[in-house]
Structure 1
Amino acid sequence: MPTGAQLTVTDQRRATRHPVDFPVIAEHHVHGDMNMHISNLSAHGFMIDDAHDLSRGDRVIVRLPVIGRIEAYCIWVRENRAGFQFERIIRLDDFMSIIDELQPNPRLRRPR
């Protein structure tokens, strides 16, 4: 039987990603507090564009508007970018509230 986080990356890559400009301080179990810049966000995870000292499988805790602290797992790293999957899916109404708060350009928000 497999152990550890059971991440269904292929299923969740189809989630709509919203461009955001959100600096965050992430808690890493080895590196401590790390400054990160979230450049896109979905209900399943996020991408940062300033990945340093991160490897696939690393876990971080970030604080997002509306939902507060949430854990995420690094599922890929390429050059200076890294993709993270949340340990749980964010509810749609909470996610839309987050996007309303973080989306720098209201014209890029999806119509409801």
Structure 2
Amino acid sequence: MVSGAQLTVTDMRRATRHPADHKVIGEHRRIGDVHMHIINVSAHGFMVEGDLEISRGERVTIRLPEVGRIEAHMIWSNDGRAGFQFERIIRLDDFMKLINALQPNPRLRARR
């Protein structure tokens, strides 16, 4: 029996990524708080910049605007960057609200 998430990473790499500049504190079961700087996000996952004390395959729980708490696991890590895949895909309406909240350029944010 296979345990854990069943991933199709190659398919998810094609998802559109949106720039972000968002700092979060992830919760990790072994080391506790993990400070992360999200630099892009898609409906399937996100990329962080900076060195992390976790390894590929390990899980963190983060809190995102409009989405709330969501679990993700590290898919890759290289040269001070790391990619994470969400345990579930974010619904389109919530994702649109999320990218608007995380958009680093105020001129590109959707008008309310």
> How does the TM-score come out when normalised to structure 2?
0.91
Equivalent in the alignment of 1:90: 90
Equivalences for residues 41-80 of structure 1 within 5 A:
41-80=41-80
Q: Moved runs in structure 1, 4+ residues, more than 6 A? A: none
Instruction: Give the superposition deviation at 1:52.
Output: 1.7
Q: Answer yes or no: is the 8 Å Cα contact 2:22–2:39 preserved in 1.
A: yes
Identity over aligned pairs, percent: 66
CA RMSD of aligned residues (A): 1.6
- In structure 2, do the counterparts of structure 1 residues 109 and 15 end up closer, same or farther at CA, with 3 Å as the change threshold? farther
Give 5+ residue unaligned stretches, structure 2. none
The residue aligned with 1:40 is 40
State how far apart, in whole Å, the 1-side matches of 2:45 and 2:103 are. Answer: 15
Give unpaired runs (5+ residues) of structure 1: none
Q: SS of the counterpart of 2:100?
A: helix
User: What amino acid is aligned across from residue 19 of structure 2 in structure 1?
Assistant: P
1:10 maps to what in 2? Answer: 10
What SS class does the counterpart of residue 104 from structure 2 fall into? coil
Q: Figure out how many residues of one structure are paired with residues of the other and give that number.
A: 110
TM-score between both structures, scaled by the size of structure 1? 0.91
